[in-house]
Structure 1
């Protein structure tokens, strides 16, 4: 199949050690080299197979996301026999949170393997988690579920999962704050506006009001990040009241 040869030949001589370095991360030798090439191919490369289907890591993300969630769910089911469905769901969300997956991908320096026409400095933080998911998806298609399970145990569960620490971990300060406001009948409002500062990247500022009073402000490169930062600052301002309600 000509498209497989094209992807294998598309990497530059600088990436000659790609599979040597990848083997160190995986802990085993890949069988299907093309699927791992795909796992690190950005859509900007605009590579397609013989049928015109795009070849990039986005579909592998979908597979990897499902596999990671499955392995973590099984682990928590066995590890925490007293946990009900709500507890297990919340704990799984903490393990597979975007922030956590981004850290995992960043620790493994997966971005070093990416083939892209976009400068790597232009990628956002989520590229790290996306690549981690894509890598797990590639492992599944190459070696099956058991190899994925071993990889996730080695790279995620053993070094990072501490049940007691996870119980106290906050995934989203915004969600936590909103839940508290709804229970306590507080009114809140995230007032978001574009910040016309001198930064190269566009920024957004947020004023968070609680019962009509501004309780925190924040600024970030996206509305979502700005709101989360403002919510985090508000959380620590009202930490005792919020945690007592949990």
Structure 2
């Protein structure tokens, strides 16, 4: 059984974990005609994960300041990192979704991971959840030294490039609404010298700008490698 091999023990309330793996696009109705998906568990898991990571980093780096700890926590809980972790532990094979929305797809796996943490917390309590995050996930799947020296703030990197090369860059972000107007997505186009160099989509303005900045940096490194 996947959950038993992942945690090292069998779950008590399997329904919690089943719900954690249901994306809102695949919501189902319960006996009371209520929609069942992982959004509430994701909310809870996000808070638990952030708390455990914050405490872990505080103890792991006793001589580092608040700014360093904040940046490290951000790297360890961002959607791209959690998505990669989801694939590493094999959780991606069990997630249920029915969406073709690019912005939503980019969140499905990270959201499910957080929901799994929420389910584990409700099922086994904080101590077991903390042990799983620190002793199973961080110890076996995370290279803290590598994370420490990885800059994932692509927008700041792009701005540094523009200042270094005296180039003006422009971010143009537009909002696009879904059919029910509940789940907007944002598309950012980045231009310099009047030419587009990057485009990105996300469920927030910030995420779309980060995705566009990442593409822009890849474009610039390929076309103007001497400018870095």
> Above 0.5 in TM-score?
yes
Distance 1:154 1:188 in 2: 44
CA contact (8 A) 2:95 2:109 kept: no
Matches of 1:79 and 1:21, distance apart in 2: 30
Residues 190 and 216 of structure 2 are in contact (CA less than 8 Å); yes or no, is this contact kept in structure 1? yes
Distance 1:169 1:95, change over 3 A: same
Which residue of 2 is the match for residue 208 of structure 1? 191
Does the alignment pair 1:229 with 2:211? Answer: no
Question: 1:190 and 1:92 mapped to 2: Cα distance?
Answer: 27
- More deviation, 153-162/142-151: 153-162
Q: What residue in structure 1 maps to residue 55 of structure 2?
A: 74
Q: What residue in structure 1 maps to residue 197 of structure 2?
A: 217
Larger of the two Rg values belongs to structure: 1
Change in CA separation of 1:99 and 1:112 when aligned onto 2, cut-off 3 Å: same
Q: Is the counterpart of residue 147 in structure 1 residue 128 in structure 2?
A: yes
**Alignment partners' CA distance in 1, 2:36 and 2:31:** 7
Rounded to whole Å, the distance in 1 between the matches of 2:200 and 2:70 is 29
RMSD between aligned alpha carbons?
Answer: 3.4
**Equivalent in the alignment of 2:7:** 26
Question: How far apart, CA to CA, are the structure 1 residues paired with 2:62 and 2:226?
Answer: 30
Residue deviations 1:169-226, cap 9 Å, x none? 1122113333675799863213579xxxxxxxxxx794531xx475x72456665533
Deviation, structure 1 residue 149:
1.1
Distance 1:157 1:47 in 2: 36
Q: Which deviates more from structure 2 when the two are superposed, residues 55-64 or residues 177-186?
A: 177-186
Instruction: Give SS of 2:36's match.
Output: coil
- Indicate whether 1:47 and 2:33 are aligned: no
1:33-59 superposed Cα distances (whole Å, 9 cap, x missing partner): 221121122333332453x54321111
Equivalent residue runs for 1:101-120 within 5 Å? 101-116=82-97, 118=98
- The match for 1:167 is 148
Aligned length: 207
| Alpha-carbon separation, structure 2, partners of 1:167 and 1:73 | 15
- Post-superposition Cα deviations, 1:53-109, rounded to whole Å, max 9, x if no partner, equal 432111111111111111111111111111111110011111112111000112223
Contact residue 40 and residue 131 of structure 1 kept, 8 A: yes
Say if 2:124 is the partner of 1:138.
no
Distance 1:184 1:54 in 2: 52
TM-score with structure 2 setting the length? 0.74
Query: 1:16 corresponds to which residue?
Result: none
List per-residue Cα deviations over 1:3-39 (Å, max 9, x = no partner). xxxxxxxxxxxxxxxxx22211122110112211211
Q: Where does structure 1 lack aligned partners over 5 or more consecutive residues?
A: 1-19, 194-203, 242-246
